Amino acid sequence: MRITKSIALLGCLLYSNPGAARIPANDTLLARQLHPIGRTLLNTSKQLELVTSAAHFGVSFTGSTCTVYVKADNPDGYNYLQYELDGVYQKRIRVEGKPTAPIIINAPIGGKHQVWIYKATEAHTGALVFSKIVAGNIKALTVPLQPLIEFIGNSITCGAAADASEIPCGSGQYHDQHNAYKAYGPSVARMLYCNYIVSSVSGIGIYRTWNRESPNMPQVYDNLDFQVNSTRKWNHATYQPKIISIALGTNDLSHGDGSAREAFDSTRFISAYVQFIQHIKQYHPDAQIALLSSPMVKNAEGALLQRCLTAIKNQVDALYPSGKKVAVFFFTPLEPHGCTGHPDVADHQIMANELKPFFKRLLGS
């Protein structure tokens, strides 16, 4: 009897010992407890989906490791995340659709740390799906109270084809060279201590794509994932941007893939752009609209794009005489160094530096 009681007492002591638990409950942060920014979704399994370029969330933890349970939404595919550790950008990490192990983020030393995790790729690549984050004393970080800029655009705004540091241009899949974190929009927003969301689709324009007549941005903008036939709608009331930056036109002006293509129609372009801005203003009537040209569109076509953007500004200003005047920015032409004629990471930094005083002025107005 005494032996039995002793064994029972020892069992109770082991069970009640906090050190005996492999993962204490307060060291696990479930996906539903995170505070993301960007187009995101908490799915029916209570997993967090980061959908759009540079959608992100942050956590703080104590120790030297943070374990991230994440997968790509396509079981047969893969995706990429990228992260900051204690305010310093680290790297991209490939995320499998059928992961065999969680991703472990290592800090060089123990102590308290902050990690911000970003989706490196655009919405059409598929979502990153998070179930939980595990680390010592882990807590969800709230998004700082800062002005918000929304960046609407195409592959340039996505940061597509910008980063060949790991997989060279011309090899791998299209999204292997995506780097949304270092695209011009997120870069200039961080310079100005602003929050940001990126609403962009490779190849898209205001009335046509780079090689087809559709889909265009107005057709997909209201859909969570920018898929033309998507049934998942985006709730525009989720955020109230102070500035909405729109950079479209490169693909409308594109000569396509060599197949038959109608010449650029400036009248159609201007009309579609004005209607799109009117649509945006239904959701965000007080936001400052900023139209950006393209540093990739040069010479006669560059001048044509500038004339079109000026005409769009004038028409919208006339439609809303008491509203904020549309701002227009013309990039200095740039020779791109990324893949397939896109700007690389260094080019995006040049673009961000050029944009900084423009957005700084708009933020102060």
354: three-class secondary structure by DSSP = helix
Q: How far apart are CA 131 and CA 41, in angstroms?
A: 12
Secondary structure of 292-326 in HEC code, one letter for each residue: ECCCCCCHHHHHHHHHHHHHHHHHHHHHCCCCCCC
Structural tokens at position 13:
């002591």
**pLDDT band for position 26 (cuts 50, 70, 90):** low
CATH superfamily of 148-364: SGNH hydrolase (3.40.50.1110)
**How many angstroms separate the CA atoms of 141 and 122, rounded?**
23
Interatomic CA distance for residues 51 and 121, integer angstroms: 9
The 10 Å Cβ neighbour count of residue 187 is 21
Task: Transcribe 203-257 into DSSP letters.
Answer: T--SSS-SSSS---HHHHTTBTT--TT---B--GGG---SEEEEE--TTTS--TT
Average pLDDT, whole number, for the chain?
93
Residue 67 has pLDDT above 50, yes or no: yes
pLDDT tens digit sequence for 146-181:
999 999 999 999 999 999 999 999 999 999 999 999
Domain residue ranges of the chain, discontinuous segments joined by +: 25-141, 148-364
25-141 has CATH 2.60.120.260 classification: yes
Q: pLDDT tens-digit profile of 90-116?
A: 999 999 999 999 999 999 999 999 999
Q: Check whether 244 has a pLDDT greater than 60.
A: yes
- Alpha carbon distance 238, 51 (integer Å): 14
The pLDDT, as a whole number, for residue 24 is 45
User: How many angstroms separate the Cα of 42 from the Cα of each of 48, 51, 333?
Assistant: 5, 11, 41
**What pTM value is reported for the model?**
0.92
- Look at residue 72 and tell me whether its pLDDT is greater than 70: yes
Q: Which helix (H) or strand (E) holds 269?
A: helix 266-283
Question: Can you give the pLDDT at residue 247?
Answer: 98
